Structure 1
Amino acid sequence: MNLFHFLSVGRILLKIRQRFRDAQVQKNKQCFLTLLANGQQPLQHVKEGHIYQPLDHFNRQNVNTFPQRFFVNEAYWQRPDGPVFLFIGGEGPIYHFDVLAGHHVDMAKEHRALLVAVEHRFYGDSINPDGLKTENLEI
């Protein structure tokens, strides 16, 4: 096999992953809209926040941070000892409905869990303040 074959396969896998994420987002958005249409107020249980993460985890001298976005859904949580389910956002932004619909939400209902969704560092609102320049991606 040559290098071009591997690059071609890699591009195909990236497209498949993106289409899967797009389909997942559309499905969750539709579920969210259905809840709204049925008179429910699903957003009342969702909170958005930011945690300030170190910009460079390998250099303790660098005290710069970036805001990493997250959403929390407490609707199903059996306080204070219920489990916590963490949904790690893929290669794209996260949305409110990422903690309102999907298999992980069904499992949270079943297990009475707190649901937390964390956005990937380089997507959505969690992009480094110095941008996505190649020299800044190494940290």
Structure 2
Amino acid sequence: MRIGELAARTGSTARALRHYEQAGLIDSERAPNGYREYGEPAVVRVRNIRALVAAGLTLEDVRPLLGCLDGDVLAVRPSEQVLGIARRRLAVLERRIAAQTEARDRLAAALAAAGVSADGAHADGAAAAGAVAGGVSAGG
């Protein structure tokens, strides 16, 4: 099958498939006209790659799992190597979430200090008048 059909069958894009191929996660053959041709096993492999990426893994995290990408990857008891990859990625995601939560809280506090709610409504008419007259400054 050609790249467009593989993309359609897996909910992916041709660009993503070329990226997976460049990363060494999927293989294709070249037709005489130069088009990429994929075998039926690529459908399962791409769906597994997408499931793992949706679960928070990076393509670099997925690479060591190549041996199990051609079956039902989520139905198999993970090896210690896979569990280690998942634990490390989870820790990275938790740190990112904490940083984003902190940034959101600081921004919400700055808006509150300016008398503006997160949805843009002013806390009172005086704050609205001040914002129209001179703009709202949140310390910077």
Question: TM-score normalized by structure 1?
Answer: 0.27
Of Structure 1 and Structure 2, the greater strand share is in: 1
Higher relative contact order (CA 8 A, sep 6+): 1
Q: Which has the larger radius of gyration?
A: 2
Superposition TM-score, scaled by structure 2 size = 0.27
More helix by share: 2
